[in-house]
Amino acid sequence: MKVEPGRAGEILEGTPLALEEPFPFVCAGCGDCCRERRDLVLSGYDLYRLARWLRLSPRTVAAAFCKSYLGEQTCLPTLCLTPNPHTGDCRFLEGGACQLHPARPLACALYPLGQRIDGATGAVEYIAQTPLCGAAAPGATLREYLQNAGVTDRAGVDARWAVECTRLSRLMQAHRDHPHFAPAARRAAKALYFQYTTREEFYPQFQQNMAQLWPVLDRLFA
Ligand code: SF4
Ligand code: SF4
């Protein structure tokens, strides 16, 4: 299972909610989940959406607003939004509001939910961080919340991303001491994050990138 971090990178434990279960939450707009925010890991789709919103290339956005590193356990190239250096808050929090709300990363759209994705099947589970912040929305279900937050529309891409990353992570972990590990990681970063134009949809490009990546990695690790 791949576990997306919650508010401060904590791993969520708990019983998954069913889609028709009550989820009586509505965001009160306090901005607390954007403060002291140093843990916001981006997927390739998150970066693409941000780049499209800002009308910049994914590489430019990453250079300007992200830190890149190699995941210690996953051995995967990873991007994390860097905070505002003066406040420590998310750099897109201005006047208590998110300046890129329609393009906000998945972790932000989900909050106060966390997400577990089965790396083999892509099956998704949602878990609530309790106590819930925000205000009460009696009668609301988890399905309605996910739809309203824009999570449902992107769930297929996010699941595919998790499945590919799980597979890729296994390969990279198995070759962490291989002499070609560094070029393989650079090639993977390109396929996962950078080789995209925002003039075209993300998913077909992602599929094409991964189809090209696997034979390259096979050759590097042969
Ligand atoms: S991207 Fe927007 S919603 Fe997410 S932490 Fe930053 S300000 Fe908050
Ligand atoms: S999700 Fe919760 S913490 Fe974040 S702004 Fe809304 S009410 Fe505040």
The Å distance, Cα 111 to ligand 2 centre, comes to 8
Question: 9 CB less than 6 Å from ligand 2?
Answer: no
The Å distance, Cα 131 to ligand 2 centre, comes to 12
The answer to whether the beta carbons of residues 160 and 206 sit under 8 Å apart is yes
On whether the pTM is more than 0.85, the answer is: yes
The Å distance, Cα 36 to ligand 1 centre, comes to 11
CB atoms within 10 A of CB 157: 19
Pick the atom of ligand 2 nearest to 28's CA: 7
Residue 7 parent element (H or E): none
The gap between the terminal CA atoms of the chain, to the nearest Å, is 28
The Å distance, Cα 169 to ligand 1 centre, comes to 27
Residue 127 parent element (H or E): strand 124-128
The pLDDT value recorded for residue 180 is 98
Task: Quote the CA–CA distance of 43 and 38 in Å, as a whole number.
Answer: 15
The Å distance, Cα 87 to ligand 2 centre, comes to 18
The pLDDT value recorded for residue 146 is 95
Pick the atom of ligand 2 nearest to 132's CA: 2
DSSP 22-71: B--EE-----GGGTT----EE-HHHHHHHHHHHTS-HHHHHHHHEEEEE-
Task: Quote the CA–CA distance of 80 and 160 in Å, as a whole number.
Answer: 20
Question: 42 CB less than 6 Å from ligand 1?
Answer: no
Pick the atom of ligand 2 nearest to 30's CA: 8
Question: 36 CB less than 6 Å from ligand 2?
Answer: no
Task: Quote the CA–CA distance of 32 and 164 in Å, as a whole number.
Answer: 32
The rounded average pLDDT for each run of 10 residues, N- to C-terminus, in the chain (222 residues) is: 37 79 89 88 97 98 96 95 94 92 94 88 88 84 94 95 95 97 98 98 98 98 96
Pocket test for ligand 2, best of 25, 32, 34, 106 (most atoms within 8 A of CB): 32
Domain locations along the chain: 2-220
State how far Cα 55 lies from the chain centre.
20
The closest residue, in CA terms, to atom 8 on ligand 1 is 34
Residue that is written with structure tokens 């843990």 in the block: 39
Residue 180: helix, strand or coil by DSSP?
Answer: coil
The pLDDT value recorded for residue 154 is 96
Q: Which two tokens stand for residue 170?
A: 């296994």
The answer to whether the beta carbons of residues 117 and 50 sit under 8 Å apart is no
The answer to whether the beta carbons of residues 206 and 163 sit under 8 Å apart is no
DSSP 66-113: EEEEE-TTT--EEEEEPBPTTTSSBTTEETTEETTGGG--HHHHHTTE
Which residues contact residue 137 at a Cβ distance below 8 angstroms, ignoring those fewer than 6 apart? Answer: 24, 25, 26
Task: Quote the CA–CA distance of 53 and 74 in Å, as a whole number.
Answer: 29
Pocket test for ligand 1, best of 53, 104, 113, 133 (most atoms within 8 A of CB): 104
The closest residue, in CA terms, to atom 2 on ligand 1 is 98
